[in-house]
């Protein structure tokens, strides 16, 4: 199907373990959400660092709930309404967002854990966000690669395309079946040669 598979409607034929990756991303995003909220609760009104990294972690976690949780729900309960182009855009943005989030959290955690005014609680929460975010980032890349591969190499039609009209398929012409070859007539049996009639004896003279 090629690139047309990326704009089609319907779930591509993908392995089951991609669904488990979605579930893992959602679960880890929930942990990142909790750690990000904890870092914001420690910071209070943003007196220390303004809540930048923690706020970014919360945003990316909610984004992952929508992208991967929504995709899993559509694949299971409404596959006919699964728009691949929307899922593709959401997953690409997720990879970018998670890279920014865990890198920002790691940088902030190194500041709070390495300075002389060490703030262990805040630095530990941000370090946890960075570690979990890096794992989610790797899982998101793996999911994106195999999702694109499943959509591109698909060989069966999956419904209408999202953009443009689907070209109607012309049914193949029905060719008339050729007549079966006639069987040759069986060879006639050779009749045995007739025996010659015996010669008649001449009548005796009177």
Quick check: is 157 in a domain?
A: no
Q: What is the Cα–Cα distance from 101 to 75, expressed in whole angstroms?
A: 28
Q: 3-class SS at 191?
A: coil
The pLDDT score that the predictor gives to residue 91 is 96
Helix segments in the chain, DSSP class H: 17-43, 52-64, 70-77, 84-114, 120-152
Mean pLDDT score of the chain: 79
> What value does the CA radius of gyration of the chain take, rounded to a whole number of Å?
39
Task: Determine contact, residues 129/153, Cβ cutoff 8 Å.
Answer: no
Query: Residues 51-65: pLDDT tens digits?
Result: 688 889 999 999 999
Q: Which domain holds residue 40?
A: 14-152
Please report which confidence band the pLDDT of residue 74 belongs to, taking 50, 70 and 90 as the band edges.
very high
63 falls within a domain? yes
Domain-located, residue 87: yes
The band of 113, judged by pLDDT with boundaries at 50, 70 and 90, is: confident
In a domain, 1, yes or no: no
Say yes or no to pLDDT of 25 above 50.
Answer: yes
Q: Which residues contact 33 (CB under 8 A, 6 or more apart)?
A: 57, 58, 61, 62
> Is residue 146 domain-resident?
yes
Distance separating alpha carbons of residues 36 and 7, to the nearest angstrom: 35
Q: Is 111 contained in some domain?
A: yes
Residue 177 lies in a domain: no
Which residues, in sequence order, are CB contacts of 202 under 8 Å at separation 6+?
Answer: none
The model carries a pTM of 0.70
User: Could you tell me if residue 148 is inside a domain?
Assistant: yes
**11-15, 73-77, 120-124: lowest mean pLDDT where?**
120-124
- As for how many domains the chain has, the answer is 1
Residue 30 has which token pair?
């929930």
pLDDT digits (tens, 9 = 90+) for 29-52: 999 999 999 888 876 545 555 568
Q: Within 10 Å of residue 4's Cβ, how many Cβ atoms? A: 16
């Amino acid at each position: 199907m090629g690139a047309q598979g990326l704009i089609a409607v319907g779930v591509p034929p993908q392995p089951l373990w991609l669904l488990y990756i979605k579930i893992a991303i959602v679960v880890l995003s929930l942990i990142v959400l909790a750690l990000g909220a904890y870092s914001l609760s420690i910071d209070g009104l943003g007196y220390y660092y303004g809540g930048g990294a923690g706020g970014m972690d919360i945003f990316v976690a909610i984004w992952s709930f929508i992208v991967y949780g929504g995709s899993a729900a559509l694949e299971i309960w409404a596959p006919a309404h699964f728009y691949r182009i929307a899922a593709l855009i959401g997953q690409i943005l997720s990879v970018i967002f998670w890279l920014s989030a865990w890198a920002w959290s790691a940088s902030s955690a190194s500041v709070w854990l390495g300075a002389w005014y060490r703030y262990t609680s805040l630095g530990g929460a941000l370090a946890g966000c960075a570690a979990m975010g890096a794992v989610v980032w790797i899982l998101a890349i793996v999911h994106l690669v195999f999702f694109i591969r499943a959509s591109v190499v698909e060989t069966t039609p999956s419904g209408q395309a999202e953009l443009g009209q689907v070209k109607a398929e012309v049914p193949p012409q029905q060719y008339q079946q050729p007549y079966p070859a006639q069987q040759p007539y069986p060879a006639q049996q050779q009749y045995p040669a007739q025996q010659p009639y015996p010669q008649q004896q001449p009548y005796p003279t009177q």
